[in-house]
Amino acid sequence: MTVYELQLKHLSEKARPWCNTRLGFPAKASPGGSAGADLAATRSSQGDCVLFNALLSFSGVEGEANAYVPACIAPDGRPVRSPDLLSEPSELDGISKDMLLGVLLWTLVSREPTPLERLIGYVNRTGCLCPKSSDRRCTLTPQMTYLTNKVAKAVGCKARLKGDWLPGWLFSALEVASALVTPLGYQCHLLSVKALVMRLLGHSSSVPGILARRDSGNPWFLWLDGQEEKAALTLLSLNVQPGRGSQWSWERDSAEKAWKDSMGWDVIFLCNLLLK
């Protein structure tokens, strides 16, 4: 084992105590502190956990992380941000198209088509991910419709989303254009996850390189671009701290130094990838 690998292993072990598992699965630090926390606390700690748990599953975290995403799809296909919200009435922000990326990534990692098949049926019946939404967070873009159907085909789903008209070349061009101009932060992180999904489908992209050049202080972007040694050195150079435990650091502009409030799971995710 190299010195870098020993340091990464030590960092992963250091971050483990910060990780919130009190709700039974990886999450941000919860204001409620238990599975019985109120709805506001549930939204706060679990709002983006479909995506985070899918990324953790991709990195090799098993158990609760791997079980989280399918548990967020109701028997009728209605998706939610957290299993704790399944018993609640349909919320305005029950899920979003951003979190659909987590479902797609988990589906490719697990090769289990059933949750995605149910979700596609629900969207085809209702017209969007959460019909009561008052804005467009639950309305699928042509890019997300295209990507969903690509994943569905890859894992053997029989169902396909309606309204898939976007050609592959235009999807790629739109992703590259977005990577060039989208403000650094969570939107670029979403672009990076889409690039990862496309890579798992066998398609290369210039998006990771663009993101890594625009924010060279983000070790996740560096890893995705194939710069593993630089990603490791960058991660190890950061003074990662638990703080409030509220951040998946790699979805923020590195200038924000979100790793000072690391949720811990973001560190374990990246250490896992670098130690593979």
Print pLDDT tens along the chain (276 aa).
788 899 999 999 999 998 987 777 788 875 544 334 454 555 555 778 899 999 999 999 988 888 999 999 999 999 988 888 887 766 555 788 889 999 999 999 999 999 999 999 999 998 888 876 767 778 899 999 999 999 999 999 999 999 999 999 999 999 999 999 999 999 999 999 999 999 999 999 999 999 999 999 999 999 999 999 999 999 999 989 998 888 999 999 999 999 999 999 999 999 999 998
DSSP annotation of 140 reads P
Q: What is the pLDDT of residue 115?
A: 96
**Residue 27 bridge partners (DSSP):** 20
Q: What is the pLDDT of residue 21?
A: 78
Q: What is the pLDDT of residue 152?
A: 98
DSSP string, 179-212: HHHSPTTHHHHHHHHHHHHHHHTT---SHHHHHH
Q: Where are the domains of the chain?
A: 47-164
Closest alpha carbon to 23 in 10, 4, 42, 40: 42
Q: What is the pLDDT of residue 40?
A: 54
pTM as predicted = 0.92
Q: What is the pLDDT of residue 44?
A: 52
Q: What is the pLDDT of residue 48?
A: 87
Query: Residue-wise over 96-119: b if at least 16 C-beta within 10 A, else e?
Result: bbbbbbbbbbbbbbbeebebbbbb
